[in-house]
Amino acid sequence: MSVKILSPGLLSTIQDAGRSGYRKEGIIASGAMDLYAHRIANLLVGNEEEEASIEICMSGLSLQFEASHLVAITGADLSPAVDGISVKMWRPVWIPKGSILSFGAPASGCFAYLAIAGSFDVPEVLGSYATYLAAGLGGYRGRPLQTDDLLECKKATELLPLLNSLKHLGSGHSVVEAPWAPDTQLLPEYQENPVIRVIRGLEWELFNKESLQIFLAEPFRVTAHSNRMGYRLQGPSLSLATQAELLSSAVSFGTVQVPASGDPIVLAADHQTTGGYPRIANVISADFSSLVQTQAGKKIYFKEVTLAQAHQLLFEQQNKLVQLKLAIQIKLNQQA
């Protein structure tokens, strides 16, 4: 069973929850930009949430199913369609053999996720399926998907009642969408110009008072130079109270660095392991999805929260995922 890539789009890669435990060796985590959406996609088709998915950036991916499959599409709304007919997101969908799934222009967000029941059969490298582009490691041959690539798919470990029900409803030859989707209150909310919550960075005190006030009061525009490594922002210039030479130190997903230009850079999934720019703040984990789904040209606003508040917000998000997992498992074991 395989899926053939007809057009790879702007950037389509195999991702998962990331490659942990190797940053001390200089190997980055990579993984899905919107990890919450990636996990939900897998849960919707009965996979473990850490399984591989295809991350589609912005537009253009087109693929053909060489066997019938149960899939789910989450994350950004990239106008998915099967054989030219719009298909719903955030729910299981039965797609028959020979069908072509394509993604068009983004209606909202930047990164969509395609999960398939059983998952994609790619080799595990250092405990992860994630594509580390700069090193040519993991994913499908360590690179973005290309035209004519054939992605083999694992067989689903068990035939869930829903899968059989959807297959029967479509007589095995037509697309069938599950008649349900998770409660919208449990799904991520993507806003065009989001408020992104942060905690103070290790060099917060080195910035002058005006810059600190501006950082939390003025909007910053996401530039077209943003990518999986980091989001480059443009807005009022930020500066230190006095110039200081810093040693390179550890950075992470969400670290907000300020280079000499004064324009912040928010590090993302493919960030380097260390950096020498002053760290004014860190985006809280619960807001990573909102950050990465903000399109170029849109504005973001930073809001300071305490570390305790950041922990509470992450706990609430993780609790939502637990609720989703339980609700989806019940639905998957019911007839459509």
- pLDDT, position 336: 55
Mean pLDDT score of the chain: 92
- Judge whether 12 and 3 are in contact, CB under 8 Å: no
Q: How far apart are CA 141 and CA 129, in angstroms?
A: 11
Q: Which amino acid is present at 22?
A: Y
> For every residue of the chain, which 3-state class applies, written as one string?
CEEEEEEECCEEEEECCCCCCCHHHCCCCCCCCCHHHHHHHHHHCCCCCCCCEEEEECCCEEEEECCCEEEEEEEEECCCEECCEECCCCCCEEECCCCEEECCCCCEEEEEEEEECCCECCCCECCECCCEHHHCECCECCECCCCCCEEEECCCCCCCHHHHHHHHHCCCCCCEECCCCCCHHHCCCCCCCCEEEEEECCCHHHECHHHHHHHHHCCEEECCCCCCCEEEEECCCCCECCCCCCCCEECCCCEEECCCCCCCEEECCCCCCEECCCEEEEECHHHHHHHHCCCCCCEEEEEECCHHHHHHHHHHHHHHHHHHHHHHHHHHCCCC
- The tens digit of pLDDT for each residue in 176-192 reads 888 888 888 889 889 99
For 192-233, the pLDDT digits (tens) are: 999 999 999 999 999 999 999 999 999 999 999 999 999 999
Q: How far is residue 286's CA from residue 284's CA, in Å, rounded to a whole number?
A: 6
- Model pLDDT for residues 234-270, shown as the tens digit of each residue: 999 999 998 877 888 889 999 999 999 999 999 999 9
Paired residues of 240 in beta bridges: 207
Q: Which domains does the chain have, with CATH numbers?
A: 2-188 (no CATH), 195-305 (2.40.100.10)
Residue 2: what pLDDT? 85
| Per-residue confidence (pLDDT) for residue 295, from 0 to 100 | 96
- Model pLDDT, residue 294: 98
This prediction has a pTM of: 0.94
Report the distance separating Cα 262 and Cα 266, nearest Å: 13
The pair of structure tokens assigned to 112 is 């969509």
Edge-to-edge strand list for the sheet holding 100-102:
85-86, 81-82, 100-102, 61-65, 2-8, 150-152
Res 23: pLDDT: 86
Total residue count of the chain as it appears in this document: 336
Question: What pLDDT, on the 0 to 100 scale, is given for residue 183?
Answer: 87
pLDDT at 265: 98
Q: Is the pLDDT of residue 85 over 70?
A: yes
Q: What is the mean pLDDT of residues 162-166?
A: 72
Give the residue among 235, 185, 244 at the shortest CA–CA distance from 213: 235
pLDDT tens figures, 143-159: 999 999 999 998 876 65
Q: What are phi and psi of 79, to 5 degrees?
A: 55, 55
